[in-house]
Structure formats: structure tokens, C-alpha cells
Structure 1
Amino acid sequence: MIGRWVAARDQNMGALTCVEALRHIERAFDRAVRQVLEPLKLSNLRVVVLMGDEHLHPALAILCDDVGQVDLGWIEKTNVLSDALAGPVAPVGWRAAAYQALEGTLGSVLKLFNYADMLEEFSMHYWEGATTDEEALAYLVDCLGVEADEAEAMLPSTMNAKRPDYMTAQPEALKRMPKGLADRLRRLRAAFDAHRAARTAWLVEDFHRSTEYFPELEEASHLPPLTLVPHDQFARELDEIGRHGMEMGFTNVAGLLELPDADGIEGWFASFRLGIDVLLAAQDLINFDPMQREGHA
């Protein structure tokens, strides 16, 4: 499959032995993937060519090799930190807008979970699906035997109260932001819209099918390996729900596309590039500090 795609792109390949042809094909495909991934620092992604067998078509998979919290840069700064140590803190409305933009876009590309996902997971582990403090406290004390004082620290309201300001504040309107920040938010939205229209490379439509290609996923945690939930505030909760994944691995397949023939590879690459464009726009937003002088340009 990959060989036919390389041959169609390289009409001057010439006569090669089987070993030479195989090496040429691998290098050509790897080079094409690396060119797309080269500017990306936000996440460690890799592409795997799956040869298939009599039951499985050849396929291309995108895997996410990172684990933990996505570094949010300037967005995570709070007034609790000294300006001397961390620099000036951006207005909370700017940080809230950036955080919500990332929360609404990154999940379509990266394998990550957000605060609502963490709360739901924690609820299933420790509250038997409860959503109120009263129900959660009763289950923690009566069914799990947690001491009342300790249980108080594990209630929904306690967790909600720990959220930093940028997770709860009203986002500022773009027209009231510095141009540099507003432009980056618009770029992220535009990249997301383009990607959403052609997500072929970034879908895993059938989890059971993916376990046929990656049998280790059957024992892995169903949670993604990455999160936007800040570790500083929610270390305990993240450690609790992530324990199984740290021991057995996480569900890290960001995309899986079966390709019966070489005709679909160009389409896969087009979709792959659009997804990377989302990550590059997010990377630019995170790396940009609007409180620096150039940020107000």
C-alpha cells in the first residue's frame, strides 16, 4: 500500500532490489510524516503503519505518547504567584477565553480529558454516580468507610471550589483583547473549523476494531493520556483516576484509518495536516504571553 503511494510520487525511483525498495519506501513515508510533525512541540505524536492480515486491512494510526497535563503557559498564571517570579498575570477574562478555546478544540485531535470528564470519572469511582454533596457523602461514609473529615475533601462542591479562576470566569470578548491574542484565538477557531470538516485521519470509529490492531488496549485504561485539568489544584484526583492507566497504559490512539489500497493515503495526509494545524495554532496561543509588550500589538 505505502509502496504504491511512494512509487506514484517518485517516478524516477529506478530499479531497486526488494530490500532497497523497502528501505526507500520507509524513508519516503517517514520523511513526509516528519515534515508535518517537525514544528510541533505541544505534543509527542507518531504515525504507525499497520500492515494488516487476512482479517484486517492495512491501516494508518496516530498515537499520542504523552501522559499528564498539557502545559498551559501564561494561561495558568494567577495572582497568587509573585510578579517577580512569574511575570505579570493577564486579566482573567483573557485567560478564560484562551482556556475555553483550548478545551473546545484540542479534544478533536489530542487524546485528552477535561474537568467534566474527570468529575464524571471520579463520581463513578467514589460517589456511585452521585452529583450532590449529600449523596456523595453518604456513599463515601456508609459504603466505602471513609472518615467524615476525609470525605469532606472529596465532595463535588469541594472539588468545584478548587478550580482556578480561568476555569470559571466569563471569557472576554475578542474586540476587547490585544490584537495579538485575538488573532491567535481566531486562528485556532479557523484551524478547528477546517479540521472538523475533514477529520478522517483523527477518528477512531470502532474501539473494538482498534483493539484488533492494538490488543494491549483491552487491558488499558479507557481514559486518554492527556488532560487540561491543572495538576497543581487536582493532583490527588488525577492520581486517583489515572492509577490504572499508569499501571496498564492509556487509550492513546488518536486516529485509526483502514486503507484497503493506496488511493486513500493522500486524503489521509490532507486530514493529518489539518489536525496538526489545530495543534500548531494551540501551541502558538499557549506560547504567546499577551502581557509582554509585543502581546499588545
Structure 2
Amino acid sequence: MNHFGPRPDCRSPRLAELAGRAVRLSDDIPVVFDAPLSPQHRLIGAWVAEQYTSRAEYTRPQARRHIERAFGTKVSDILEPVALAGLRVSVRGDEAGKNTALAIICEGLGQIDLGWIEDGDAPIPWRATAYSALKRMLGRVLPVFGYQDLFDEYAAINWEGETEDDAARDALIDLHGVSEHELDGQTLPSTLHASRPPWMIADNAVVDALLPRSLHERLDRVREAHDALVGVPPGSDAWHVEHDILYDYMPEMEEHYHLPPLTLVPFAQFAGELDDIARHGMEVGFADVAGLCPLPDASRIDGWFASFGLGARFLCAVQDLIAFNPAQS
């Protein structure tokens, strides 16, 4: 049976190492010896020419390599400190081959390592406050799902969307052929809710005034980095996906499952349920695009890099929060 990121293999630093920080142009963009430069190479090349003045003359193959190396180096420099998830950037052409977009793709899979929030000995209110903040903000940058998404998916698959125990029992009997004497071994909405550890429950979070200063400061840095993304102009937002145009640039995504590849739901408590809802995604792929930004011309690239850097800064602040253990400070 396929497992959706068993815990030893799903920790994000390991995923980041496996995924690398590759930057490449889509396979749909021809890179043929001495063929004319593609529209995508010409657009990125115009930006490279503004950034790196050079009197050198290039053959077409040399120009391609120079464009890809210059653009890729800047992307890699920004992503270098990010270890929370494996990310790569792909330069995409639309189906007509005339328009260009920059896609951020998440190559991580499974549970995000929650560090002390999940495994530490800090008081529950501190852990719940940090977890609640991640649940609220992390989706601004990463394709990630939480407990409510798990519950809704599991309900749709097993209880025909029912959310109360009695209706879920009826669905199991009427639609899934479960007999009355088998019901005791079945997962119901109440048992799923009861499986949540107390640090997952938002009502256990507290106001910042009740937190130690060191934790308060780290949460503030996460919020400030998140808030900086709010003012990014839509046309330059590296971390936004406009689904109306996604399939124009990435038609393969139509076949992917709608569930994101990353989760904040702990495997220790929900391994079976996570395997259940992720089975289809393991077969056809997940909704792993973290951002898709069309580029009508090269003038938009600096804005894209600015927002790309803001997202990386936010992820670094999240990493710092997770790596820190307030109980040991």
C-alpha cells in the first residue's frame, strides 16, 4: 500500500535535499542546437542583459546557457537558506508557445516537520499558539493542507460528506456495506476529532502577552514576514496561482489530484486517514504549484524576484520558529 509520506521520510529538510533547487525551462520549450531562441529565452534574456552588462558575443547555444545560468543563480541564491520544503522554479510557455510565466513548484511530500510544536515539552498553550499561527499563514506560500481539509476529504470518501456520527454510520451501512456489528471498528467524525492532540486545537492558543518573550518575538517575525506579502501587486506575486490560467501553462495539472502535497496534520495521530485521502494523489500527482506568475514582458521580472524573496524570507522566519524550543531558552 502506498504511504503518504511516512514520518521518517517526510521531514522537510530531507525532502529539500532530495528535491534540490533546480531551475529549468519547461521541456515544452525547445532548446535545439543553433535553433532560434524561444520566446521564453528572449524574455528572460532581456532581463539578464539589463542585469549583467557584457561586451561578449554569444552563439545561440552559449546565449541559452548564459541566460539560464544567470537567472538560475539568482533563484538559487534566494532559495539557498530555505529548507522547509523542496522548491524549484520553472519557466513555462503557454500552449501557443508565445507567452511566458514563472512557476514555483513544491517537490516536497508529506508532513512538515513541526519540531518542538509536535514533540517538545513546552506548555500546550505555547505549542497551540505557534501551530495556530502556522495553520493560518503557511498556505500563503506553500501548497499545504490542515486538519479541516483532512476531515472534509475523509468525510467525502467514507461518509458521503456527512459530518455527524449518526449520519456517517448510515452512510457506512447504506453505501459502503458495513454491517451493524462492524461499526464499532469504524472511524466516525467524533473519533477523528478526538484524535487531535491538544496543541492542534485553536481554543488552546493564548494571546502573545502570555507567551515568553523569545517565542513572542519569533511569532512577530513570522507575522511581519507574512504581512509583507499582503501588499505585493497581483501582477508581480510569485506565490499566487490563478487557476483560470494555470492549465494554459501547465496542462498536465488537469490530471493532478486537487489535494496539496504538504500537510500540517501529524502522522503520529492520523497516519491511516492521511494514507486514505492521499492515495489518489500518489497515483496521479498532487496540486504542487506554489505560484504561477505570467510575464507579459521583462519589466515584470524584478517585481517577481522581489516577491519571491519576500516568500523565502517568510519561510526562513517559519523555520526559525520551528527550530526554536522555548522550553529550553
What is the alpha-carbon distance in structure 2 between the residues aligned to residue 98 and residue 42 of structure 1?
16
Match of 1:206 in 2: 243
CA shift, 1:173, in A, is 2.4
Do the aligned partners of 1:195 and 1:271 also contact (CA within 8 Å) in 2? yes
CA shift, 1:225, in A, is 0.4
Moved more, 117-126 or 65-74: 117-126
Match of 2:190 in 1: 157
What are the equivalent positions in structure 2 for 1:69-148 lying under 5 Å apart?
A: 69-77=111-119, 89-148=121-180
The alignment-based identity, stated in percent, is 49
3-state SS, counterpart of residue 118 of structure 1: helix
Match of 2:46 in 1: 4
Paired amino acid for 1:291: A
Match of 1:37 in 2: 79
3-state SS, counterpart of residue 257 of structure 1: strand
1:276 aligns with 2:304: no
Distance 1:150 1:72, change over 3 A: farther
Distance 1:42 1:148, change over 3 A: farther
1:62 aligns with 2:104: yes
CA shift, 1:146, in A, is 2.1
Moved beyond 6 Å, runs of 4+: none
What is the alpha-carbon distance in structure 1 between the residues aligned to residue 95 and residue 165 of structure 2?
52
Do the aligned partners of 1:220 and 1:250 also contact (CA within 8 Å) in 2? yes
Given candidates 18, 21, 29, the residue that maps to 2:60 is 18
Do the aligned partners of 1:180 and 1:290 also contact (CA within 8 Å) in 2? yes
Quote the RMSD (CA, aligned, Å): 1.5
Paired amino acid for 1:34: S
What is the alpha-carbon distance in structure 2 between the residues aligned to residue 187 and residue 37 of structure 1?
19
What are the equivalent positions in structure 2 for 1:210-229 lying under 5 Å apart?
A: 210-229=246-265
CA shift, 1:211, in A, is 2.3
Match of 1:260 in 2: 296
CA shift, 1:51, in A, is 3.4
Match of 1:189 in 2: 223
1:237 aligns with 2:263: no
CA shift, 1:150, in A, is 4.8
Moved more, 145-154 or 1-10: 145-154
What is the alpha-carbon distance in structure 2 between the residues aligned to residue 92 and residue 58 of structure 1?
47
3-state SS, counterpart of residue 103 of structure 2: strand
> Unaligned 5+ residue runs, structure 2?
1-42
Given candidates 270, 274, 286, the residue that maps to 1:250 is 286
CA shift, 1:20, in A, is 1.6
Distance 1:95 1:124, change over 3 A: same
> Unaligned 5+ residue runs, structure 1?
78-87
What is the alpha-carbon distance in structure 1 between the residues aligned to residue 70 and residue 261 of structure 2?
30
What is the alpha-carbon distance in structure 1 between the residues aligned to residue 320 and residue 75 of structure 2?
21
Do the aligned partners of 1:7 and 1:13 also contact (CA within 8 Å) in 2? no
Moved more, 211-220 or 48-57: 48-57
1:270-290: CA deviation from partner (whole Å, max 9, x where unpaired): 111111111111111000011
- Give the aligned length: 282
Match of 1:82 in 2: none
TM value normalised by structure 1: 0.91
3-state SS, counterpart of residue 238 of structure 2: helix
Do the aligned partners of 2:95 and 2:248 also contact (CA within 8 Å) in 1? no
Do the aligned partners of 1:67 and 1:226 also contact (CA within 8 Å) in 2? yes
Match of 2:209 in 1: 175
Paired amino acid for 2:196: R
